[in-house]
């Protein structure tokens, strides 16, 4: 009788593993569907929503700065702030799964690596699309003029009336920057109307803050303990230099950059401490039915 029961239990293991695999697959699909929906909303905002037309007064000297090319172009930010964290996620989870390169590894190790990698990747990408969406909403909703707006807009300054007479004397007149104010193509001017928040700052600070926290949560190096803070410091410096370059290039003011930094950091904290809080206590040795559920292994000592 005992052998029969053991046979029955053993026969149920493949079915249980198959069910868990299906649950994980469904969860991964749902995660990336949600990411795709948020990204679709971002594309709609990016291509269909125009920035608000703002006024300015002649005493606002911060929009008369010369135009300069980007010291760090956005494609470079996307490159290091996207590929970099993904590479580290792969390395970290390979170490955690104890996969040895150029050797035959068990299917269990490979499965655990794939599960943890997909979880880390989906969290990271989710934060990216949220950062992109909120940044673009802010840029278009506020419509703040960049420091080099006048240089890009190239208006006829001789036609501008800077002041008007009031009962209290001369005051600066609000000047509409829409309609025929600019003498160049509308598409060229549109980018100069999106100063707040800084997209370079929000993207780089989200990615680098995520990487710093992910390293802290998932990488354990007892003998090489200073390697982790070295990587984290490098990530911080990369984000810091990117943000500072936006001020020195006259593409943003200090407040634009601070706004972008705060947005990126808050999203990274929300992703790693709330939405993906399981990365802090997920143990590779324990089986999980779902990333957001507790381990299936129960404490049997309390029943003895």
pLDDT at 297: 47
Is-contact 127 40, C-beta < 8 A? no
DSSP characters for 207-262? HHHHHHHHHHHH---SSSTTHHHHHHHHHHHHHHHHHHHHHHTTSS-HHHHHHHHH
- Two structure tokens written together for 190: 């549109």
Cα three-residue angle 55-60-66, rounded to 5 degrees: 100
- Two structure tokens written together for 110: 């490979």
Cα 143 to Cα 11, 152, 283, 298, distances in angstroms: 64, 15, 46, 55
Q: In terms of pTM, does the model score above 0.95?
A: no
pLDDT at 173: 87
- Two structure tokens written together for 274: 């709330």
From first to last of the 304 residues of the chain, give the pLDDT tens digit. 445 555 555 555 566 666 767 777 888 889 999 999 999 999 999 999 999 999 988 888 889 999 999 999 999 999 999 999 999 999 998 888 887 665 666 777 787 888 888 889 999 999 999 999 999 999 999 999 999 999 999 998 888 888 888 777 778 888 889 888 999 888 889 999 999 999 999 999 999 999 999 999 998 887 888 999 999 999 999 999 999 999 999 999 999 999 999 999 999 999 999 998 888 876 655 554 444 444 444 444 433 3
pLDDT at 293: 45
- Two structure tokens written together for 79: 């490159």
pLDDT at 23: 77
Helices (H), the chain: 2-48, 74-78, 84-96, 107-142, 149-153, 186-190, 199-218, 227-248, 254-270
pLDDT at 302: 37
């Amino acid at each position: 009788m005992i052998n029969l029961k053991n046979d029955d239990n053993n026969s149920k293991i493949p079915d249980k593993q198959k069910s868990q695999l299906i649950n994980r697959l469904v969860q991964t699909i749902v995660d990336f569907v949600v990411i795709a929906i948020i990204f679709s909303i971002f594309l709609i905002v990016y291509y269909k929503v125009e920035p608000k037309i703002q006024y300015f007064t002649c005493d606002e000297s911060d929009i008369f700065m010369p135009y300069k090319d980007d010291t760090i172009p956005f494609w470079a930010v996307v490159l290091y702030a996207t590929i970099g964290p993904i590479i580290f996620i792969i390395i970290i989870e390979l170490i955690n799964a104890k996969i040895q390169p150029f050797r035959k590894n068990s299917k269990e190790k490979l499965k655990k690596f794939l599960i943890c990698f997909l979880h880390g990747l989906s969290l990271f990408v989710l934060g990216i699309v949220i950062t992109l969406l909120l940044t673009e909403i802010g840029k278009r909703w506020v419509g703040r003029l960049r420091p080099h707006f006048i240089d890009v807009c190239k208006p006829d300054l001789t036609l501008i009336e800077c002041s008007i007479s009031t009962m209290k004397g001369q005051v600066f007149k609000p000047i509409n920057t829409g309609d025929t104010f600019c003498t160049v193509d509308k598409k060229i001017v549109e980018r100069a109307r999106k100063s707040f928040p800084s997209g370079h700052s929000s993207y780089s600070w989200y990615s680098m803050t995520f990487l710093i926290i992910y390293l802290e949560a998932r990488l354990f190096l007892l003998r090489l303990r200073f390697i982790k803070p070295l990587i984290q410091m490098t990530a911080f410096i990369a984000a810091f230099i990117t943000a500072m370059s936006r001020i020195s290039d006259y593409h943003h003011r200090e407040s634009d950059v601070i706004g972008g930094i705060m947005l990126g950091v808050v999203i990274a904290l929300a992703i790693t401490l709330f939405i993906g809080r399981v990365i802090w206590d997920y143990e590779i040795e324990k089986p999980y039915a779902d990333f957001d559920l507790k381990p299936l292994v129960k404490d049997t000592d309390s029943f003895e």
